[in-house]
Amino acid sequence: MFRATVLTLFPEMFPGPLGLSLAGDALARGLWSLEARDLRPHGLGKHRAVDDTPAGGGPGMVMRADVLAAALDVAAAPDDPRPRLLMSPRGRPFSQALAREWATGPGVLALCARFEGVDERVVAGRGLIEVSIGDYVLSGGEIAALAILDACVRLIPGVMGKLESGASESFEDGRLEYPHYTRPREWEGRSIPEVLLSGDHARIARWRRDEAERVTRERRPDLGGRG
């Protein structure tokens, strides 16, 4: 089973949106598990400090390696097979391919930082894999962890109704998805493309493939879609 452990100063942010809809139903059905662990008890001194001023000076605070390592060591045994992810704008870009890889594995451990980030030494010291959800800066890793878990959970076998509705989606084959339509047939003078009403499944499949290629070429030539 896919087990998620999140380390955070704000455990009350979990499951949050992952407690609803598809991910929430799957959580209730026991298809995955989520444990949000508070970093604060591992902090030092009367105030349970988890951060300190940056070596070399400068603004903000840095999360301490010793505090984070203590939290990690309690959360996961050394032989825990799950990847240990550090949410970080400097990390490897998260992708559908990574979501699929992790979704079919034993789960993930996600460390959410705050402030300026973490003491660099804990990354190597605990074998953390830095992961970014995009080229912008969030105020903390929690929303990144929620996004990553959401993308993984929907791919866990049995979570999505139709097995199919995963394979044809955006990014799965280096392409964006074709456009969707539903009733009514006419809306504000706009109609559904005739081909979709033709009942000709081969033609429909061809149209969808062509549309997926066109949209990918126009919007995301960097994806280098196949076909």
Contact positions toward ligand SAH, by CB under 6 A? Answer: 87-90, 112-114, 116-117, 132-134, 136-138, 140-141, 144
Give residues with Cβ within 8 angstroms of 66, minimum separation 6.
Answer: none
Tokens of 81: 């097979």
Rg (CA), the chain: 22
Decide whether 116 or 211 has the Cβ nearer to ligand SAH. Answer: 116
3-state class (DSSP) for residue 62: strand
* Cα gap 111→145, rounded to integer Å: 8
**From the CB of 74, what's the least distance to ligand SAH, in Å?**
20
* Cα gap 54→105, rounded to integer Å: 36
* Cα gap 184→137, rounded to integer Å: 41
